[in-house]
Amino acid sequence: SSGLSKEEVDRMQKDADAHADEDRRRREEAETRNRLDTMIYSVEKLIRDNRDKLDAGELQPAEAALDDARKALNEGGLDRMNAANENLTQASHRLAEAMYRKTGAAPGGGAGPQGEPAAAGKGGDGKAKEG
């Protein structure tokens, strides 16, 4: 026997259950914080690398979403960070769409040749031709 009464075991189990919920909440908040931090970094890089390809009207909403996301990261709170992450994700998609529209009409997107000619000196069976 462990030397613990049934009441002590029950109390310890209840404490463990209560802490498990708190641990889950903390883990979820940490994962959400990490996702938001990664999204902030990605959008900052996207803007930094493509600022010259975008006009102010396209950049402003993304920069506003970035500011909001940074505030949410500092303030914390699962719902607040999730909302900021969703807003920033949508803003980054709009930036990507704007960049695609500007580069999507560029030439060079066509497919390569459809068929390859047979190699010189060889027939269709791959063997050298007798001459």
Nearest to 62 by CA among 33, 36, 89: 89
Rounded CA-CA distance 21/24 in Å is 5
Neighbouring CB atoms inside 10 A of 33's CB total 17
| 64 in a structural domain | yes
Q: In Å, how far from its chain's centre is CA 3?
A: 52
| 59 in a structural domain | yes
| 13 in a structural domain | yes
How much is the mean pLDDT over the chain? 84
- pLDDT tens for 65-98 read 999 999 999 999 999 999 999 999 999 999 999 9
Q: Give residue 73's domain range.
A: 7-103
| 110 in a structural domain | no
Does residue 49 have a pLDDT over 60?
yes
* Structural domain total, the chain: 1
Per-residue confidence (pLDDT) for residue 112, from 0 to 100? 45
Return the percentage of the chain with pLDDT > 70, whole number.
Answer: 78
Rounded CA-CA distance 14/11 in Å is 5
The domain that holds 88 is classified in CATH as 1.20.1270.10
Total-model pTM: 0.67
